[in-house]
Structure 1
Amino acid sequence: MRFSVLGPVEVRSADGEVVHVGGPRPRAVLVMLLLTPGRVVGLDRLIAGQYGDDPPAEAANAVQSQVSRLRRALGGLVEFSGGGYRIAVEPDDVDSHVFERLALDGRRLLAAGRVADAAAVLREALGLWRGPALADLPHGDARVARLEEVRLAATEDLVEAEIASSDGSPVARLRSLVERHPLRERFREQLVRALHADGRTAEALAEFEDARRFLADELGADPTPGLAAAHLAVLRAEEPAPVVRRVPPAQFTSFVGRDDEVARLAAERARLITVSGPGGTGKTRLAVEFAGRDACFVDLSAVDAADAVPLAVLAALGLRASGFRPGPTDPVERLVAALDHDLLLVLDNCEHVVAAVAALVRTLLARCPRLRVLATSREPLGLTGETLLPLEPLAAATPDSPAVRLFADRAAAVRPGFRVDHDTADAVVAVCSALDGLPLAIELAAARLRQFTVAEIAGRLVGHGRFRLLSRGDRTAAERHRTLHAVVAWSWDLLDERERVLARRFSVFAGGASLAAVEEVCGDEGEVLADLVDRSLVTLVDGRYRMFHTIRLFCAQRLAEAGEEEELRRRHAAHYLALAQRADPRLRGADQLTWLARLSAEHDNLMAALRWADRETAMRLVAALAAYWWLSGRRGDVGEVAAALLAGDLPPGLEEEYVSCVVHASPRPAAEHWDRARRLVESREMRYPFGLALWGMVAGPPDDPAADAGKLLGDDPWNAALSRFSAALLAVLGGRVADGERGMREALDGFRALGERWGTAQALDWLAQIAGWRGEWSSAHKRWAAALELYEQLGATEECAELRCHRGRCLVRQGDLDAAQAEFTRAAALFARPAAEAVLGLGEVARLRGDLKAAGDLLGQAYAEEGGAEWMTARALTALGRLAELSGDHVEAVRRHDEALAVVRTPVLAAELAGVVEGRAGAALSDGSGERAALLLGVAVALRGTAKAGDPDVARVAAGARELTGAEVFAEAYARGAAMSRDEAVAVAGV
């Protein structure tokens, strides 16, 4: 059968007959299954697609009925598997998947210069669309936007092919496209070039001016380099040239001389390709041009340790490297989960971490069958199945060779109007030949035209002894390093003294710098920095100044030779400490996302400052950045540094900084550090409120909260909101739910008034949990949905995972085990490492379904991974006790329940103690003591401050106790326990 979803869903048999699949809801289910043909779609996903976030109680049965109708219509193609359904068809049977494949093929053909073939393939792809994508989904799908984006990109590529092949004039169509998509600059660029190709120069110039004004008015932005280049071509009356591939935004120069290599990459089907060759040959640029917008690009040049390679890939994918949980993390497993789809992963600059890259690539390719990898390195990765693309220097022997064309292009940028003609051809060929056709060296040489003629450059280059190595032809690794070093040294020699001072000082920055940072750290007011930009030693990209890595290494050596390294590093660390301290309060307000983005842009500099700062400055950085490490998911990056800072005596005045290092240190510090940190927290006021919040989450509540909570925080609005939240949380955990709920609402109002997302989501999460205890299911799920949206805005993956666990426990009490399992499964995938809370939830679902073998494995894993949190230990032990009861091992059950009681026998954790007491009630029932079981169930209510609606374990024990004692005795014992004071309940719980 053939399936169409690019428009109203349509099914046709092998002979072309239309197959009717029923009404709107069966069609919607069919579309959701066809989006991932051959793969299981969970029942919860099907329900959400049908009914949104608030499905009716009978939603699962309704979906099952719709699936049955599909099965009858499709002859059994829809199959049940585990917790969901799959449709047994191939991707090529579904038009959306065929469309994406054809769009990619068309782009590759276009990149290879086969414009006629590309146009034919792209027309076939776009011809599959019959209307809006996935039109039958009542609640939409994120993939609609992705399909529409691929459709627009394919349209752009088709227009590009038509312009390149002169296959009619696309001007009329482009005008319509620009009108419908005014912010899509590639259409505007293509319209300018198409008008120019038609000889309508005045209209082309007018169109550019309209585009420029529109972008300035709407976005406050200038035209992109591609649109500006099209305008310049019109002004110069140049013959319009076809553009094979659009230059990515980070690239600000044209791509010259590598058409054959791009074509080979486009034709190559191997899953691992390594572009190899000497430094300076353009490996990175080739990879960027080939990959375009269809790949994930990872620059490893700043990675200085083998274990940082997976973290760099995670960062490029936009994923949190680790969560805020003690213990080891496994970024490779996160990558395996994230890369299970069609993707080209580009790993750039691998040579200095080649062994680590090889190990990571082997794992990813083995476990992610739809992944392709394109690596650039000075040496192969050395893996079986690796396809090498050796990148040779550009040919440079003739005036029309690629190297000469590259020189001419770059020279024209610094000396407008420069051309290689009869007077300059020999000198340009001499320069390019002396540089062995190395693109980087050629670009640096061309930049010198600002001060010298081509003949002068050729004379300096050929006559200078230090450049003789460039023409030897020896391509060994050490030789390649010396060759590139000589190119940079030659450029260095042409700088005046002020430029040299700034160039060597600029090398202190890792990952670039803002103008303000350069002025403060290096002592430059911008004038000399602009000269370095002109001379291509520094680049300006998106408002940040950057230095090529090789040039930076060279300049760093000059900095050390000048004796300035220690002073510049001190200034650098002081600047970024001041930035961190300025950012800290702004991370607790409405500007939270803006400042997170600003600190993220400076992440490399912040880590560099941590590494080379003195101990006092480094400790201050860890504390000032506590909110940033947490909210951006980068706590794992600082773990080793924080652990190292704990060694030695505590510097006076840095008590709070010491506490922050204890919280962030990895591996988890010794108990003596935690004891010392707790004493410090309980004896002083904290300057960094977020640090206090993190301490509470990691170390748990104080032994005497009433005595300490009032003096820990200052009186700014966020502190006040956090103080109310902390007091409310302690009330909830202590069994005073009504008081806690009132305080939590006040905290929510405080966080919302500030526009602060994290605190707002925390309060919403706890209010949802309280509503769930009372059986107010709709209210609970609405609050969780609002909290989840806020966490997702922050990129707080681990909080999203914890919230899904909370929602999963509520769904268990609602009796929807399928939905609960789906939530726990999602949570397990989001956690940075196997997390006890999610695994425990899956184990409880298995136990309630009667699968004792799976439950035992999962609960045992949860207990082994609980990480030291008292509440988690108690829950895991209680679950193991209940499992032992079901298995008939009464002795083991009692032992587990006693162990759980020993962990949380404290009024501070009365709510958790209530769960343990409910477990002990089950053990009492197994002993035949129905009255004791009833009493303990009542005690649990007294401890928690409320009954827990729908709990299946409580319901099971209550039913058994009534049967043993009779309803009257049960009610009397239960009421007696529920009426106890908290202290009485704690005492009874321990008997």
Structure 2
Amino acid sequence: MRFGILGPLEVRTDDGTPVDPGGPRPRALLTLLLLDAGRTVSAERLVDGLYGARPPAGAANALQSQISRLRRRLAPHTEIEATPAGYRIVTAPDTVDAHLFERLAAQGRAAAADPRQAAARLADALALWRGPALPDLPDARAEAARLEELRLSAFQDRIEAELALGGGPGLVPELRTLLAAHPLSERLYGQLMRALRADGRPAEALTVYAEARRTLADELGADPSPELAALHLELLRGAEPERPRLPVQLTRFVGREPELARIAALLPDSRLLTLTGPGGAGKTRLAIEAAATLTGIPAPCFVELAPVTDGGRIVYAVLAALGMRDGFRSPATDVTDRLLAALEDRELLLVLDNCEHLVEHAARLASLLLSACPGVRILATSRESLGITGEVLVPVPPLPSEPAVRLFLDRARAVRPDFDGHARVADVCAALDGLPLAIELAAARLRTLTPDELADRLDDRFRLLSRGDRSKAPRHRTLRAVVEWSWDLLDEEERELARRLTVFAGGASLEAVEAVCGLPYPEDVLASLVEKSFLEVSEGRYRMLETIRAFAAQEAPDLGDAHAAHFLRLAERAEPHLRGAEQLPWLARLAAERADLDTALHHLVRHDPVGALRLMGCLSWFWRLRGVHGERVSTARELLAAVGDGPPPGLEEEYVLCAINALSGAGEEPELIARVDDVLAAYRGPLRLPYVLVLWAVAAGPRPATDDHARTLAAGSPWARALLDVGFGFRAQFAGRPREAEECFTRALRSYRATGDRWGLANCLDPLGMFAHARGETERALRLLDEGLAHVRELAAPEETADLLRTRGTVLLHRGDTAGAVGHFEEALTLARGAGLPDKVAAARRGLGDAARLSGDTARARVHYESALRECAANWFSVGETVRALIGLGRTAAAEGHTEEAVDWFRQAAGLAGEGPGDLELADAAEALASVAAPERAAELLGAAAALRGAGNAVDPDVVRTERNARAELSAQAYDKAFDQGRALRSAAVSER
């Protein structure tokens, strides 16, 4: 028989004939038995279910009568047995829709890696529902609620699968209905936003986020989750959904179902999983597959450690994988602290691949990340465990016979589509110990060998190698046997090119192979190596598996000089393009060659310091635009030691850039700074690497006394002259000369438009937008800032993007668009956090504090200002943000009626502003003090601020309100007199009270 309890009780025979179980009491009794189909239900539980907490006298006898009547109605199709402990309905769980539903729903969730199969299973499960669960058992509220929760989860899982299959438009009505019934489900809100985006309705998706935020705040007093906020940020950017940062796989994943299931079961509750097993067992491929396909885990980030030879550089590999760069940071910034700051509030699955050769360093970093970053989980691969508390091991053994054969057949059909299998395939896989790498190499040989020939050669080869060095690890002997056997099947031309290719650390383009390997017309040989699984090729780049590379390198010729020479030529060719209209493709090309550029640099440092200086000079701007420049500190220091106390002839700029890289992260070094100052003072140009000017100013501080010499050096380079104008513009702005500053930025903008340099354009458009805003030209300001944002987003520059978003948010806040401003500040905060930039986090926090305070939410404002203060680093970059956060706390205190507290905050801000690099912070402090001063004193302070700023402040609502209040209390003549007195006193008027 078939039974339905997901809706009104339904009983049917196997041929579909309905059976009437009787009235309410028998229906309730049958429902109780079906909830435990096939298992005994105690008499006490049945009585409780039928009669509640107060059963009538003789309830046990009544139960027996009910059982008897129910037996007669179900006979002869189903039996109800009496047992010593109670009663049992003799039927399989799958004959009851509730149990079948749970099984199908679980299968659907487990099949999440195959969205089509998952969607089908979940749809079948949901089709079993005919109404509310257990309506014939009104007292079973807890069980009914559990089933309804499972139903909602199944709906969400099915929708997730359909979204993965490209669904969207058809899901919108269903999602709106589900949300009406479950208005606090963040997962449903996120799915509705994604469905609307898929239907080309991003604006409606944004309104859904606003609705979610409002509902969660009203009902729970909570903000949306980081996942929902991240989806909102994607919509604001108009970007595609973030894809997992994982290597693209070129072949199907075969087998490993038990290991995938174990990882899926462990990851939700274990923060460190390590896949262990022999080389060639497929640990890396399994980790990538798990990170890419399993549901319910954080977004993945893949970190390949195989090319990392120094354990101290692991942190830089993680930063690079995260897509982070330093930008213009303080020399005191610690790279590990920056990584922790970037990951502190993120939900992330970090895949650390190939840890075995750096296991101690990897273990220390994993322990640090797990203890400091609660949202981070780690999936590591290693031939041995990391050996730290909390680690859970997932062994990755050789494949069993059946999946090993499936893998062989899949790879064999890639080279012989007509291959239908062979009786000896299982023997081949067994001889290869089920190692996936070995199986793939063997299958590739079917292009030229028959299965019998393949099996015979394997047998001979392994019998010879089984008597090898017993002191070696078994996995090493086995893997070496496989690689050596495959190696012997190559012809000499293929072997020679394979040996030469081992010089490349990160793969190679055809151009690089031709230039470095010294073999004419290598295209055909490369294709042959790809076909025989010795190389992988993707987007025109050839990459050798590390295991094969290590084997082939044993007899490789020394091509270090040729390799370094090629990449030096590439860097010198790329360098001028990094400052013009072709920035983007050249940045991408250098990023693809990053591992080999580093390898070339290390080789040159040891063998050709002059060449190393040239290479480091050419790459310094690339590192600033896309790199983590602190990674080169030790290399730069080693190079300086090799070069000596002065630059080689003609390499003055390269020497200075090397010193800049040596200073990064190392703090003050007066002797080195003085030495470089002397080199620049004696240098007569013309500049070949003009960014040396800005990088030295950032590393060692402004040098006003050298302005004339800098102009002379920059005379021959339009890009360098524009760069100087940017520097002079900021200096004039800080000194309260806005007209001069705007002229400098305008000249620079014209030059950068001519060269097409996006970085330069953005760094001009940001201040020019604020100058336009200060004159009340708000729409023009927004246009300028939008253009700047477009440029920095093309560059994938989070620091500059955060700056421009904060600036644009300030403009919106000043014109009364608080919601728009908050959105900008939040996006800037997300970018700054992700890039590990505490100064930018502080700026975004301060903007959110201003928005909250101006909206009347002083409690929230105080939280943001205090957070901003905590983020500010101890360097000159942070002085302005610290001053403004102190002012924010003072204005918050004033808004709450605590005037004396406000004055104290403002005086702290004024004292710190006096130590800053310019007068703008002091002007801000003067305007703040004016807000709590007597009318005449307020006018005087506003005059001082106008003098310091070089202009009045007619756009800041706080300042506008202060001026309006002072004018209301004074005559026009009295106000103007006090204002003029303040202009004459300038900074002295701020410190006096």
Fold-level match, TM-score > 0.5? yes
- Does residue 651 of structure 1 match 2:647? yes
Deviation at 1:673, TM superposition (A): 2.9
Could you tell me whether the CA contact under 8 Å between 1:346 and 1:374 is conserved in 2?
A: yes
Deviation at 1:775, TM superposition (A): 3.7
**Structure 1, 257-266 or 523-532: larger mean CA deviation:** 257-266
1:414 and 1:955, CA in 2 relative to 1: closer, same or farther beyond 3 A? Answer: closer
Partner residue of 2:669? 670
Amino acid at match of 1:583: A
Amino acid at match of 2:285: R
- Does residue 781 of structure 1 match 2:782? yes
Could you tell me whether the CA contact under 8 Å between 1:349 and 1:376 is conserved in 2?
A: yes
**Alignment partners' CA distance in 2, 1:418 and 1:749:** 65
Runs of 5+ in structure 2 lacking a partner? 1-104, 128-154, 177-188, 201-245
Partner residue of 2:77? none
Partner residue of 1:443? 440
Amino acid at match of 1:634: V
**Alignment partners' CA distance in 1, 2:318 and 2:197:** 24
1:951 and 1:679, CA in 2 relative to 1: closer, same or farther beyond 3 A? Answer: farther
1:405 and 1:478, CA in 2 relative to 1: closer, same or farther beyond 3 A? Answer: same
- Does residue 105 of structure 1 match 2:109? yes
1:341-740 counterparts in 2 under 5 A?
A: 346-354=351-359, 357=362, 374-382=379-387, 388-396=393-401, 401-411=402-412, 413-414=414-415, 417=418, 420-421=421-422, 425-426=423-424, 428-449=425-446, 457-464=454-461, 468-469=465-466, 478-525=473-520, 526=522, 527-559=524-556, 564=558, 568-614=559-605, 615-647=609-641, 648-652=644-648, 653-664=650-661, 665-681=664-680, 683-685=683-685, 686-704=687-705, 707-713=708-714, 715=716, 718-719=719-720, 721-740=722-741
Amino acid at match of 1:799: E
**Structure 1, 597-606 or 437-446: larger mean CA deviation:** 437-446
Between the two proteins, what is the percent identity of the paired residues?
A: 41
**Alignment partners' CA distance in 1, 2:867 and 2:467:** 63
Partner residue of 1:328? 334
Q: Residue 793 of structure 1 aligns to a residue in which SS?
A: helix
Could you tell me whether the CA contact under 8 Å between 2:169 and 2:199 is conserved in 1?
A: no
Residues 922-960 of structure 1, C-alpha deviations (whole Å, 9 max, x = no match): 7799998956x7556435434433222244675687679
Residues 89-122 of structure 1, C-alpha deviations (whole Å, 9 max, x = no match): xxxxxxxxxxxx9998374274898896266369
Partner residue of 1:802? 803
Deviation at 1:760, TM superposition (A): 1.7
Q: Residue 804 of structure 1 aligns to a residue in which SS?
A: helix
**Alignment partners' CA distance in 1, 2:196 and 2:929:** 58
Could you tell me whether the CA contact under 8 Å between 1:913 and 1:943 is conserved in 2?
A: yes
1:533 and 1:110, CA in 2 relative to 1: closer, same or farther beyond 3 A? Answer: closer
1:917 and 1:263, CA in 2 relative to 1: closer, same or farther beyond 3 A? Answer: closer
**Alignment partners' CA distance in 2, 1:361 and 1:919:** 44
Deviation at 1:877, TM superposition (A): 8.6
1:671 and 1:809, CA in 2 relative to 1: closer, same or farther beyond 3 A? Answer: farther
Amino acid at match of 1:302: P
**Alignment partners' CA distance in 2, 1:895 and 1:109:** 58
Could you tell me whether the CA contact under 8 Å between 2:506 and 2:593 is conserved in 1?
A: yes
**Structure 1, 815-824 or 943-952: larger mean CA deviation:** 815-824
- Does residue 251 of structure 1 match 2:260? no
**Alignment partners' CA distance in 1, 2:891 and 2:290:** 58
Deviation at 1:499, TM superposition (A): 3.5
Task: With the length of structure 2 as denominator, give the TM-score of the two structures.
Answer: 0.65
1:674 and 1:985, CA in 2 relative to 1: closer, same or farther beyond 3 A? Answer: farther
Residues 768-820 of structure 1, C-alpha deviations (whole Å, 9 max, x = no match): 12123334333323322332232122110011222234345556655777876
Could you tell me whether the CA contact under 8 Å between 2:275 and 2:381 is conserved in 1?
A: yes
Could you tell me whether the CA contact under 8 Å between 1:569 and 1:609 is conserved in 2?
A: yes
Could you tell me whether the CA contact under 8 Å between 1:461 and 1:467 is conserved in 2?
A: no
**Alignment partners' CA distance in 2, 1:130 and 1:869:** 48
1:925 and 1:747, CA in 2 relative to 1: closer, same or farther beyond 3 A? Answer: closer
1:960 and 1:645, CA in 2 relative to 1: closer, same or farther beyond 3 A? Answer: farther
Residues 370-393 of structure 1, C-alpha deviations (whole Å, 9 max, x = no match): 876544333345566665443332
- Does residue 836 of structure 1 match 2:816? no
Partner residue of 1:901? 914
**Alignment partners' CA distance in 2, 1:569 and 1:961:** 74
**Alignment partners' CA distance in 2, 1:121 and 1:523:** 63
Task: With the length of structure 1 as denominator, give the TM-score of the two structures.
Answer: 0.65
Partner residue of 1:218? none
Deviation at 1:711, TM superposition (A): 1.8
Could you tell me whether the CA contact under 8 Å between 1:339 and 1:371 is conserved in 2?
A: yes
Could you tell me whether the CA contact under 8 Å between 1:623 and 1:660 is conserved in 2?
A: yes
Deviation at 1:765, TM superposition (A): 0.5
**Alignment partners' CA distance in 2, 1:477 and 1:775:** 77
RMSD: 4.9
1:741 and 1:442, CA in 2 relative to 1: closer, same or farther beyond 3 A? Answer: same
Could you tell me whether the CA contact under 8 Å between 1:395 and 1:403 is conserved in 2?
A: yes
1:62-73 counterparts in 2 under 5 A?
A: none
Deviation at 1:584, TM superposition (A): 1.8
Could you tell me whether the CA contact under 8 Å between 2:349 and 2:376 is conserved in 1?
A: yes
Could you tell me whether the CA contact under 8 Å between 1:811 and 1:820 is conserved in 2?
A: yes
Runs of 5+ in structure 1 lacking a partner? 1-100, 153-247, 905-911
Residues 604-657 of structure 1, C-alpha deviations (whole Å, 9 max, x = no match): 112222333223333323321233222224334334433444444233233212
Deviation at 1:477, TM superposition (A): 9.1
Q: Residue 546 of structure 1 aligns to a residue in which SS?
A: strand
1:976 and 1:283, CA in 2 relative to 1: closer, same or farther beyond 3 A? Answer: same
1:894 and 1:619, CA in 2 relative to 1: closer, same or farther beyond 3 A? Answer: same
Amino acid at match of 1:251: Q
**Structure 1, 609-618 or 890-899: larger mean CA deviation:** 890-899
Could you tell me whether the CA contact under 8 Å between 1:643 and 1:666 is conserved in 2?
A: no
1:263 and 1:892, CA in 2 relative to 1: closer, same or farther beyond 3 A? Answer: closer
Partner residue of 1:93? none
1:147 and 1:599, CA in 2 relative to 1: closer, same or farther beyond 3 A? Answer: farther
Amino acid at match of 2:300: C
1:49-198 counterparts in 2 under 5 A?
A: 105=109, 107-108=111-112, 110=114, 117=121, 120=124, 125=158, 131=170, 133=172, 146-147=194-195
Could you tell me whether the CA contact under 8 Å between 1:881 and 1:919 is conserved in 2?
A: no
**Alignment partners' CA distance in 2, 1:865 and 1:591:** 37
Deviation at 1:724, TM superposition (A): 4.6
Residues 559-602 of structure 1, C-alpha deviations (whole Å, 9 max, x = no match): 3xx5x2xxx22222222222122112222233222122111111
Among 293, 296, 301, the residue aligned to 2:300: 296
Deviation at 1:530, TM superposition (A): 3.4
Amino acid at match of 1:520: A
Partner residue of 2:145? none
**Structure 1, 595-604 or 675-684: larger mean CA deviation:** 675-684
Q: Residue 689 of structure 1 aligns to a residue in which SS?
A: coil
Could you tell me whether the CA contact under 8 Å between 2:842 and 2:869 is conserved in 1?
A: no
